[in-house]
Amino acid sequence: MTLVQPVIGRGNVKVGPIPTFSLPSRFTCPGATPWCLEHCYAWRFERIWPNCRAAYALNLVLSWNTRRFVKVMHRRIPKDLPAMRIHVSGDFYSAPYVTMWIYIARSSPRTQFWAYTRSWNVPALLPALERLRALPNFELFASSDPGMPDPPSHWRVAYLETDPRANGLPCPHQYGGASSCHECRYCLRPYARQRSRMQRNLS
């Protein structure tokens, strides 16, 4: 029997030539705030591009079968793939789904995964997300907007520019410092390593 394959997308202008995996926006975003729903760029793209919406829906349906999803994703991710962006659209919608990505990332130790999530704001999902972000090849950011509380203090955070809490390195792509995530790779590199490098530079 031939298994239906998930749709692996190509990176957009910002991400660059890095494979991506996405789900339908809104329907898979339990941590979304009213601000997020109102300004969701992924939702706008899904309405403009029906093929994109259909591909994300297929990925969602596949993710409902744990064993099959992990199996087909393991086959679709090349063993030598350097990096992969999770959820250009969509989010971690359940604890079992997060656990699937733990299995997938563990089976692809040479691939550096990264994602931004608002699901940290859902108490029932936080323990599974903590396990995911503890993996050495998975960088997980707490995405936030002004309508959300402070993320856990030990998380890497992606604030909006207009959020008064925003600090740290502004996205180099947005300021012309890098052509894409593929060139910059700041978000792909483990935070502990970056923090150590910054401390050395300041000493």
* pLDDT confidence of residue 18: 86
Q: How many CB atoms lie within 10 A of CB 134?
A: 10
pLDDT tens digit sequence for 73-128: 999 999 999 999 999 999 999 999 999 999 999 999 999 999 999 999 999 999 99
pLDDT at 193: 43
Q: Structure pTM?
A: 0.84
3 state SS of 42: helix
Copy the structure tokens of residue 65.
């079968």
Cα separation values, 144 from 11, 14, 162, 176, Å: 22, 19, 11, 23
Residues of the chain with pLDDT under 70: 1-3, 11-16, 162, 164, 166, 168-188, 191-203
Beta-sheet pairing, 20-21 with 156-158: unpaired
Whether 36 and 29 have beta carbons less than 8 Å apart is answered as yes
pLDDT the model gives residue 148: 87
91/87 Cα distance (integer angstroms) = 6
Give DSSP secondary structure letters for 170-192.
PPTTTTTS-SSHHHH-TTTS-HH
Say what the pLDDT of residue 164 is.
Answer: 62
Give me the residues paired with residue 115 across strands.
Answer: 86, 140
| Alpha-carbon torsion angle 113, 152, 157, 118, nearest 10 | 70
Structure tokens belonging to residue 107: 């089976």
